[in-house]
Structure formats: structure tokens, C-alpha cells
């Protein structure tokens, strides 16, 4: 299998990674968040057009294995495991989340967020995630915090999410990895 850098359909994503990393480190610095200590589960992309999503899907199929594809929050979401993990800052990330465009238009087509697994009680996820960040970082202009609980059909594990963004990139926190969420579907 190819790496992302060698899949023509993903050349825009390969070229976008330095921008994403710069923005991610800038956000972490503003938040007082130590990236190296976090368990990152996956990285996600965002796009505006179905044709872009289809092109990226074809590219990922050349360098990864599709392990889930289902509708979540009204749009298809494909999950891939890369044959060669992607170097993203301090992490080697092998899982990619590719959602098709939804109602919201993103400022940029490319890498959009990383998701951190913060294991523990689902009820305290938000407070535990916020405790990792400096209070003054969270109150800065342009920083926003959102909570949600995305759920795909058949998922049995609760999946609360806390997302922190500066409008350029986002860091999300979950209690479970995507593979654990997908595996919970089989536990019927």
C-alpha cells in the first residue's frame, strides 16, 4: 500500500499537514496544553464538496483499510486505518476520519482536528479535559468550547465530546477510541 505522500488523490492533504501542525501547536500553546502527554486516537479532515470527499476516499483506499462507514449526524463518515501511520507532531496516527460535507461550511478544506482519548468516567469528561488546560487560555478571544455526543447506529458506548477550537484547528476529547466505539457495535 502507498503512504499518504504517494497517493495522488491526497496530495492536497499531504501539503496541508505543515499548516495543520503549525496551527495545532499554536492552539495548544494558547491553551497551555501539553500535546506530548496526550493519547491521540485519530486525525480528521473537512471538505465542502462531495467530489473532494470521494477523491479523498479513493486516495485513502490506496493507503489504508476502510474499517467503518456509516451515517453520523446526518452525513456519511468513513474511518480508515493507514498502512503507514502519519507523523503528526509528537504522535504516529494510523486512524483517519473522513466525514462528507454537512450543513456547516469550514474555512479550510484539509486537516481539521485531532481527537484525544481521555479515559475515565464519561460524566466527568468535560471537567477532566478542561483541567488539562490553563484557565487563562480558555478565556482568550477566539477560543470556543463545545460539547456534543455524536452517535452512529448500533453504537453501544456513550461518546461524549468536548471540543476546543480557535476557528483554525480543533482538539477534541473523548473517553473512547474510534476502534472501541466501532467494536461496541458488534457487542449486541
Task: Identify the CATH homologous superfamily for domain 4-184.
Answer: 2,3-Dihydroxybiphenyl 1,2-Dioxygenase, domain 1 (3.10.180.10)
pLDDT at 79 over 60: yes
pLDDT of 108 reads 82
Residue 105 above 80 pLDDT? no
Q: Which of 98, 88, 110 is nearest to 168 (CA)?
A: 110
Instruction: Considering only residues 151 and 80, tell me which one the structure prediction assigns the higher pLDDT.
Output: 80
The rounded distance, in Å, linking the Cα atoms of 91 and 87 is: 6
Output the pLDDT for position 150. 66
Which DSSP symbol is given to 140? S
User: Whole-angstrom Cα distance, residue 185 to residue 154?
Assistant: 5
pLDDT value at 185 more than 90: no
149 vs 75, more confident: 75
Rounded average pLDDT over 149-155 = 62
* pLDDT mean across residues, the chain: 91
Rounded distance between C-alpha atoms, residue 30 and residue 24, angstroms: 10
Q: Looking at residues 35-56, what average pLDDT do you find?
A: 95
| For the chain, domain boundaries | 4-184
Judged on CB neighbours under 10 Å (0-12, 13-18, 19+), 54 is middle
- pLDDT band (50, 70, 90) for residue 187: low
Mean pLDDT of 158-179: 92
| pLDDT score at 155 | 56
Q: Output the pLDDT for position 65.
A: 97
Amino acid at each position: 500500500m502507498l503512504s499518504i505522500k504517494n497517493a495522488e488523490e491526497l496530495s492536497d492533504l499531504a501539503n496541508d499537514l505543515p499548516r495543520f501542525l503549525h496551527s495545532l501547536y499554536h492552539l495548544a500553546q494558547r491553551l497551555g496544553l501539553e500535546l506530548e502527554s496526550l493519547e491521540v486516537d485519530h486525525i480528521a479532515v473537512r471538505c465542502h464538496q462531495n467530489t473532494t470527499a470521494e477523491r479523498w476516499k479513493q486516495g485513502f483506499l490506496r493507503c489504508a483499510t476502510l474499517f467503518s462507514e456509516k451515517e453520523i449526524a446526518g452525513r456519511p463518515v468513513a474511518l480508515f486505518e493507514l498502512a503507514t501511520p502519519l507523523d503528526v507532531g509528537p504522535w504516529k496516527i494510523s486512524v483517519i476520519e473522513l466525514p462528507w460535507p454537512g450543513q456547516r461550511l469550514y474555512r479550510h478544506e484539509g486537516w481539521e482536528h485531532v481527537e484525544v482519548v481521555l479515559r475515565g468516567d464519561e460524566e466527568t469528561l468535560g471537567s477532566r479535559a478542561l483541567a488539562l488546560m490553563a484557565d487563562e487560555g480558555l478565556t482568550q478571544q477566539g477560543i470556543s468550547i463545545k460539547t456534543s455526543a455524536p452517535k452512529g447506529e448500533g453504537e453501544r458506548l456513550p461518546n461524549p465530546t468536548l471540543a476546543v477550537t480557535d476557528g483554525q484547528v480543533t482538539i477534541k476529547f473523548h473517553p473512547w477510541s474510534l476502534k472501541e466505539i466501532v467494536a461496541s457495535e458488534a457487542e449486541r
